[in-house]
Structure 1
Amino acid sequence: MKVTKAQSAENRAGIVEAAARLYREKGLGGVGVADITRNAGLTHGGLYRHFDSKDALAREACLRAFDWTITPLDKLEVEGGPHDPAARLHALVHGYLSAEHRDHPGDGCPAAALAVDAARAGPEMSEVFAQGVESNIQRFAHAIMSDGPHAPGAEERAQTIHVLASMVGGLVLARATAAGNPALSEEILATLREQLAPEPKPTSKQKPKPKPKSKSGARR
């Protein structure tokens, strides 16, 4: 049975999605062609009808992985929440440095999952990874800026790089220690959350409660 163009495009997208997820879970060297096609529900030979090589697939899958979602931040965007930079930074940091993100790398940030692999995979993969990191810098900068959509300035870009690099490094350490020392893993996440985006403090002092009057009102 001949495969339609629409079905072929769907199959290709399925392969890319499967590869993007599996690479983040197991690393670039820990996933074979058979793993990817099986996960995508296709035959082994189906991959090479869409990609010249496994390396070509890895590059496209890596770039696709950078479209990952941080639920708290994206929820603010969808619901049109307050464009308060502090609230958005809080959502970004606390969503990224969460146990959920730590424990499900296949759905998360490829920078934390694949940075070491990408550095060893040669200049072509490094170029793709650099594009993905740059897209995350732009995306996060826009998410936490206070003045609406515009190109981030030097200060905003520097802040974003600082936050992103701190989160990536923290998540890598939290994942590396999670099995051997869960308490340390949690401590790393909690410490960075507090350092990068502490819980907001009350802005106004509560007025002292008036002293209750005696029922008779008489002085003694």
Structure 2
Amino acid sequence: MSLDYFLGILGPMLEGAQTTLLLFVLSIVTSIPLGFAFTYMVRSRIKLVAWFANGYIYIMRGTPLLLQMLFICFGLPVIPVIGEYLVMDRFVAASLAFTLNYAAYFAEIFRGGLLAIDKGQYEAAKVLGLSRWHTTTRIVLPQMVRIALPAISNESITLVKDTALLYAVAVPELLHFAQTAVNRDFTIMPFVLAGLIYLLMTLVLTLLFKALERKFKFD
């Protein structure tokens, strides 16, 4: 394979990688806060809220992400009466599915982080006269993030790889362009190049989270 061939397929694949990165960023930015909200809903004293949050987490973690994405893309529009108002751009629908799915996983990660914090710290904060807000933001959250960071890192790397599921709903991302080149040129090299691009993205994420872990470790 010549250098010109690799350069020729690299352009479209990098274009697809932009879609991959966009989905990743949108999913992370929206699913982490939503997951944190569900973590506190699970711990709510209002039983209906806690039941709803637990049910949501169970359903989203218990069914495949691909099924959820197909349901939002193709299932919602065929619902009688309201289906016509639920038609979305496929990338938007896929982003919504990723956000809802990963929020459930992040909620469990955050819950585990909260459970690992000694209850005595809550009592000490109460004795010191700290409000619930100050206790959460100054004592609980920093420790929870430190504990949960390795799991968040693993889940984020999984998210990068799961973006390949866009291929199933015909959104032109990295794998789509690799598959197109393979079918056209009868060579597996586009798959190899796609794998290298995924590895590069996960390497950057790994280094970023390692740096964050060192920062929280020494803070």
Q: Which has the larger radius of gyration?
A: 1
Higher helix share: 2
**TM-score normalised by L of structure 1:** 0.30
Larger RCO of the pair (alpha carbons < 8 Å, separation 6+):
2
